[in-house]
Amino acid sequence: RSLQIILEHGEKLASMICLRDLQNALSQKNSIDGSGGSETSGALWDLIQLVGEKARRNNVLLMDREAVEIFYSKVSEIEEIFSCIHHYISYISEKVHPSLSRIHRACEISKACTMLVSAAVNYRKIQSTWYPSPEGLCPWNCEPIVQSGLWSIASLILQLLKESQGSDPSIKKELVIHLEELTDVLLEAYAGSLTAKIEREEDYKGLQMEYAVRRDALLGPMYQHVKELAEAGYK
């Protein structure tokens, strides 16, 4: 297990670098568009601040450091970003108006989450020869904290999809694309967790049921979108 933890630190470092690159890209885009002008704006920045503030509250030694600095220094705790997503989404749902702003923020967080997980998985594939036998081990990106965060943002995307009925088709298309990407990483997280439980001969029925319910909730709107596109093409 200790070797697994060491190698997972490499995965998390790859994820952190990916996240920082995304933040820089978003900052440049905001500057060009005239919608931000600095890196201290946007949904990803807000979420990073939230995670850093949480860590600072829990450690008096960090009180004199900036929240974003704290976040990027805690590579081994990158999954904490998923624990704060629910709180940030509550803020988006209750405080952010109009709906286009909510959609923009939700898509930005969705992109960050899927890129973060994909970077870790890609690192694991490239360095696969170094890893111990995976039997009974649950990768960090398959842990409940990650599943919960991914489901929170996916739930918001589902809600925004319902609200977007009758609006600009390009908005719905963008939401569906993000939902597809989230579905891939979330179902993969459940698969990894279920596999580990089965290999350890632990009870997995509750997790399997949760997986089935959420899978159907995610796939339903995508099937409907494909059906609508097919019908529109036929007409």
What pLDDT shows up at residue 35? 54
What pLDDT shows up at residue 27? 86
One digit per residue, the tens of pLDDT, for the chain of length 235 reads 788 899 999 999 999 999 999 999 998 887 776 655 455 568 999 999 999 999 999 888 888 899 999 999 999 999 999 999 999 999 888 877 778 899 999 999 999 999 999 999 999 999 999 998 889 999 999 999 999 999 999 999 999 999 887 778 889 999 999 999 999 999 999 999 999 999 999 999 999 999 999 999 999 999 988 888 887 776 5
Q: Among 167, 141, 159, which residue's Cα sits nearest to residue 217?
A: 159
Q: How many domains does the chain have?
A: 1
- How much is the pTM? 0.92
Domain that residue 209 falls in: 2-234
What pLDDT shows up at residue 37? 47
What pLDDT shows up at residue 196? 96
What pLDDT shows up at residue 29? 81
Q: Residue 106 in contact with residue 92, Cβ under 8 Å?
A: yes
Q: How far apart are the C-alpha atoms of 11 and 118, rounded to whole Å?
A: 10
Q: Residue 85 in contact with residue 157, Cβ under 8 Å?
A: no
What pLDDT shows up at residue 234? 66
Q: How far apart are the C-alpha atoms of 115 and 124, rounded to whole Å?
A: 14
**Radius of gyration, alpha carbons of the chain:** 19
